[in-house]
Amino acid sequence: MSDQVGQDNKPGTDCENAKGAGSSTSESIKIKVRDEAGMEVLFRVKMNTQMRKIKEKYCEKAEKNITHIRFLFDGETINDDTTPKELDMEPDDIIEVVSAQTGGHRTHLY
Amino acid sequence: MAVRESTVSRLYCVGETCGEEIIHGFLEICSQRHPRAYIMQCFCADKWANDNFEWLFTKKRFTTFDWVLLPINVDNQHWMLMVANPREQTIAVLNPTGATQNIEFYLECWRRFMRHRSDECTEKLNDWKQVTYPISLQHENSSCDVFILMYAEAILAKKPQVIMRQQHVPMYRRYIKDCIVHNTITAADGRCACSTCCQPKTRTLQWIQCDNCDLWFHFECVDLSNVNLHLDRYYCADCTATGRMLP
């Protein structure tokens, strides 16, 4: 399964990430989104597409509730407003999808 | 990390469980207020439990941090806190119930994780010593979330973890909520992490983030003369000094 995510981003404001400024962001890469069961969804995205869009598209495709999942890249959560460029993503990089965790309502002894 | 309003409002409800969004939202605020802590995502512990050591954080220099903290979720029911001091190579798991049966398992996970990490990066930290910290324990079933956050803040603020007890939980719960709500409001203004912030008044503020500790600085507050921005990496003075990690 693969999908095209369109690009619809405002350029970052001045107070935003200074590292990303000034270079070309028009190239696109292919990234995989993989869930805990190993199911993968492939996306071709522009380097400056906001992760929010990829997340929304993924939830639509994989029929998941966006509030119940988290996107992780290299063990760190992905903020909705970052982009593959800011995350230094490379072709075929994998985003892992995990379920939200909760606690504080014990029925067992831990 | 942005925390949704609906998530925050649940904090007020007695008996509601506390998700990792709140846990990490608050830990992130704590680490901004008391710098030099690295917060690992709770999902790491699950990975380790499944023998998965893919995430090795090789771009981070653990020894530039005073603390590495990892909230551990057990079966979507309980929270514990792992506390590592990378410079002294000490490790502890704080369990608000005081039970010890799971602790050895997670300590072993940590040691295995660090061995894998040493194989992949230049930072070799393989000799971890278990320590214990005096903590106050939870006396009812639904406050482990608040307890681990109390421990975390106390550790980062260099206060004894036993100051806060069960009776403080409702108050602390409100405090967590206020911190998260307030932080979301003021996040746009931001706070410069340097100790001698010059509070620039220029119309367009320019910020730069350290690639190791993730703290933000005003352009005006840091010396950028030695930094090659085209390298796409910036390390703040503290990280450079403690980690010998010049790009």
Within 13 Å and on the Cβ side, how many CA atoms surround B139?
7
Q: Does residue B166 sit in helix, strand or coil?
A: helix
Which domains does chain B carry?
5-187 (3.40.395.10), 190-247 (3.30.40.10)
- The beta-carbon contacts of A51-57 under 8 Å, at least 24 apart in sequence, are A51/A78, A51/A79, A51/A80, A51/A81, A51/A82, A51/A83, A51/A84, A51/A87, A52/A80, A52/A81, A53/A5, A53/A6, A53/A8, A54/A5, A54/A95, A55/A80, A57/A3, A57/A5
Tokens 């398992």 belong to B105
The residues in B 80-119 lying below 8 A from A, measured between CB atoms, are: 80, 95, 97, 99, 101-102
- Choose, out of A101, A106, A109, the residue to mutate when testing the contact with B (most B CBs < 10 Å): A101
Q: Determine the Cα–Cα distance for residues A72 and A60; give it in Å rounded to an integer.
A: 18
ipTM of the complex: 0.78
Interface contact A102-B19, CB threshold 8 A: yes
| A72 lies within 8 A of chain B by CB | yes
| A65 lies within 8 A of chain B by CB | no
Name the residue among A76, A100, A110 with its Cβ closest to that of B20. A100
Q: Quick one: how many helices (H) and strands (E) in chain A?
A: 1, 7
How far A20 CA lies from chain B's nearest CA (Å)?
8
Within 13 Å and on the Cβ side, how many CA atoms surround B9?
3
The pTM assigned to this predicted structure is: 0.82
DSSP lists the bridge partners of residue B207 as A17, B218
Eight-state DSSP code of residue A23: S
- pLDDT tens per residue, chain B (247 residues)? 567 666 666 665 655 667 898 999 999 999 988 888 999 999 999 999 999 999 999 989 999 999 999 999 999 999 999 999 999 999 999 999 999 989 999 999 999 999 999 999 989 999 999 999 999 999 988 899 999 999 999 999 999 989 889 999 999 998 998 888 887 655 445 678 887 887 777 777 788 888 888 888 888 888 776 666 666 678 888 888 876 654 4
Instruction: Give B13: exposed, middle or buried? Use CB within 10 Å, 0-12, 13-18, 19+.
Output: exposed
